[in-house]
Amino acid sequence: MKKHNFNAGPSILPRIAIENTAKAVLDLNGIGLSLLEISHRSKEFQAILDETMELFKKLLNIPAGYQVIFLGGGASMQFCMVPYNFLNNKAAYVETGVWAEKAIKEAKYFGEVNIIASSKDKNFTYIPKGYTIPTDVDYLHITTNNTIYGSELRFDMNCPVPLVADMSSDILSRPVDVSKYSLIYGGAQKNLGPAGVTFVIIKEDIVKNVTRKIPSMLNYATHLKDPSLYNTPPVFAIYGCLETLRWINGLGGVKTVEAMNIKKANLLYDTIDTSKMFVGTVEKDSRSIMNICFVMNEKYKTKEDAFMEFAKSKGMLGIKGHRSVGGFRASTYNALPIESVQALVDTMNEFEKNNL
């Protein structure tokens, strides 16, 4: 039976990327060594790193004056690094879910944090709108996609202060105007590659204003001076990212991927909206195209476990909602084929037909 991988992360990757990475683990480009045992100072790895950075820049149309670096520690380390480097007095944060809350918690160790907008009042089921961005803060931090709750900010805002964005779960899912941001970061394990590497897109000028003494590994200037090579980088994970970027490039780029993602999301949301049994949990103008969350109508709540078992019998994997919200979540990341979404829709329709 075919398996359909809706896991929220680590998540589905392009099959060709997995196969090519597996080949490199056995023998990298015929050099007689595994990807896992080459030196990070070797010409072979430098070529991998250079191509990965250049493809990242090409696919997101990253302008001059920005660098792409690859670090360890996950997005969670960036929750600390961002304020350590840039929060001198006060920073503004938009609170849209658990990961935004975690970023806020870390920032409070370094200065005043002003939560200028929040959707906590409705359990993070919408993206706040109409708030005023103060001009006396060091930066504004946003989380563009909320994996647990299924909400997403799908445009690049105009911001009067440096804008920092956690794009862990929607990077490369749509074109981004990078010039509107001072820093974009995220874990790779949703749309980019295997777990173990963090991407950072950083405007070079912003590090010039850092005055605090910072340990070398937590200082962005360290990693800009010797891009991604100050210490041993996560070689395997970076190579996995390279293969995924090659796949996206071969499809025609991020615009092509975005069209695919919108088609997948519309298929599932249309099914939810016309169902008598399933109900969406996010306000329609805030819905994510990456993480689609839904529950059973109150009348059928007792059938949730039965649906989970039925879905598993049909090859659906990873559709259980996050433990903090319950229900169901289908993560429709870039590499998920529309055939899998159609299979989920067919499963939902069959279950509904037999259980109303």
Catalytic positions are 99, 166, 190
Number of C-alpha atoms within 13 angstroms, CB side, residue 89?
A: 5
Number of C-alpha atoms within 13 angstroms, CB side, residue 215?
A: 4
CA triple 347-348-351, angle to 5 deg: 85
* 47: CB partners within 8 A, 6+ apart: none
Q: Which of 109, 171, 101 is nearest to 141 (CA)?
A: 101
Output the six-digit token pair for 343: 């299979």
